[in-house]
Chain A
């Protein structure tokens, strides 16, 4: 394995990590602030991708498509929060899981009803397509570099929002003590809608950014949702910083595990078996990582005090 290949794979892991962060950030905020398990988060990712594909097809502008994905998913999130989610805050987690699972089905079939059963077209704009040559002679897709940049920029922006603004203070206060901030005269219902819409918007943005190099189709959000849950458990539920650390860890483990394990097995067995077994082990790698981290820190890397 050459150094260039390893460097390229690290970039790949980083890229999948930052996109995972966009998903995980919303999930962890919603759980941290409202105590809600939202299985429909993946549906908002899908909504973002579908909105982006339609806007890109209609206007030809990629940036407009991204903005529309962010706005569309945030709007969908706000509506869902007002209509459904609001009724679930006082229920236990099982009811929440049940209701948000129903939302997945409604979103999926609704999307099919509007857009049909066939995958939509969404592609990298010409100004971001093709590879660039990095130092060391690595050819790397320009779009993936842009994804890393965009993801880190959103992470920084979110850090500022949570850490430095009045809204951020309210969100953090909401995580710590809901009753108290309501008693202090803050409109908690509006805060909840805002947090939910923020998380939804980020998921939608991720859906559009990732959908561009993947397939925009019904059900695209669920595999990502599982990874996002692993991420927030690793990072510590409710922590944005934890979501970032967890996302990068999961991204890198997932990518590098798929490369290293089959090669390692090649030393002890034949190519076909090594390929099959290595792939199987690699797909377990992130769950092994999660288990190991939970043994070491039961509340995750940046989790709050032990429950």
Chain B
């Protein structure tokens, strides 16, 4: 379960040990990806979450952390064990939407709370919404919607759009088109996990587009951006933050410089909570925090704020306390929409080099106080 000697892990272990004697009142089960290709996302989620728990200095919270290996069946197994044998009160941490779909509906049906640090598929925001399910990150479509809105502001009128052929990829293109007003020079689905984009780059070049929107998270984005820069196509790129995250920017290098991307968080976001978070994260882990770390940190703080107000043994009161979202978000203003997904500003960032490290800075706001497209579909009876 624990693979590296990071301070937060010691803290987690210490908390777990404490729990043995001081009887923890709240048990949190974190299911996240700590091995395999997407491990950096889960590692950051965990580290951000644990940083907030550690800062709170409470000895009545126990966090159980398990690696889902990015496999839905594994995630389900872990969730069952956490619910039935560890008897957790709250589940959190899942990075990928397909894993969330496998775990969340059954978890919430069994009366557990689920606080999402990342994945927030449309199915769980609309008809499948649940009083015990809170997405602290965003709704999956948000960053793509913001990219479409930004394309309008930037005056793009003929955008080439591209995403992997899987549900989140289809949602990405739908999300982009929701607010984009121009024409489409092309619409292409790539393979999930594809590593060579030469064919698509040739198509982009031949399409006569004036800009390119792409959603290629993780390693796919690294490959695409390096190849795009090397191919000498100079059309402006726009994409959601996932391909420009702190964890992977160093691997892309100079090829990412100047590219605009949409995010609801950035390390230079000017508020006190964020400044303190970035400094504390760097001090604790000796690297810059990523979006996933920020989301993990906010999720833990939301949980802590609700625990301060209500007893988790009283679900009604606890749910009401969560809904108030009475915590200092690193994103500044933060409230929940009726379907318990965030209402927040979504920014446009630019990739820059700062003291030899590639990172992002905010250059504009794509959407203000954006909720999500599924609020009306959610008929929670509360």
Contact = CB atoms under 8 A, between A and B. Distances in A.
Given A123-B255, A219-B37, A9 B222 contact: no
Contacts of B206: 1-2, 4-5
Contacts of B232: 130-131, 139, 141
Given A218-B39, A276-B170, A255 B189 contact: no
A215 B198 contact: no
Nearest to B43: A117
Interface string B182-196: 001001111101011
A108 interface: yes
A267 to B, nearest CB: 16
Interface string A259-287: 10010000000011001101110110000
Contacts of B196: 12, 16, 210, 213-214
Contacts of A143: 230
Contact of B198 (A15, A224, A276): A15
A213 B224 CA distance: 8
A127 interface: no
A123 B226 contact: yes
B230 A129 contact: yes
A9 B219 contact: no
Contacts of B187: 271-272, 275
B36 A219 contact: yes
A31 interface: no
Interface in B216-264: 218-220, 222-223, 226-227, 230-232, 247-248, 250-255
B205 A258 contact: no
Contact of A223 (B195, B205, B230, B248): B195
Nearest to A217: B219
Contacts of B199: 9, 12, 255, 258-259
B35 A121 contact: no
A85 interface: no
Interface of A: 1-2, 4-5, 8-9, 12, 15-16, 108-109, 112-113, 117-121, 123-124, 129-131, 139, 141, 143-144, 210, 212-220, 223-224, 255, 258-259, 262, 271-272, 275-276, 278-280, 282-283
Interface of B: 3, 34-37, 39-40, 43, 165, 170, 173, 184, 187-191, 193, 195-196, 198-200, 202-203, 205-206, 218-220, 222-223, 226-227, 230-232, 247-248, 250-255
19 contacts: A4-B206, A9-B202, A12-B196, A12-B198, A12-B202, A108-B35, A109-B3, A119-B219, A119-B247, A119-B248, A121-B252, A213-B196, A213-B227, A214-B196, A214-B222, A215-B248, A219-B36, A220-B37, A223-B195
- Pairs A-B, 8 closest by C-beta atoms: A215-B222, A131-B232, A279-B189, A119-B251, A215-B219, A12-B198, A219-B37, A214-B223
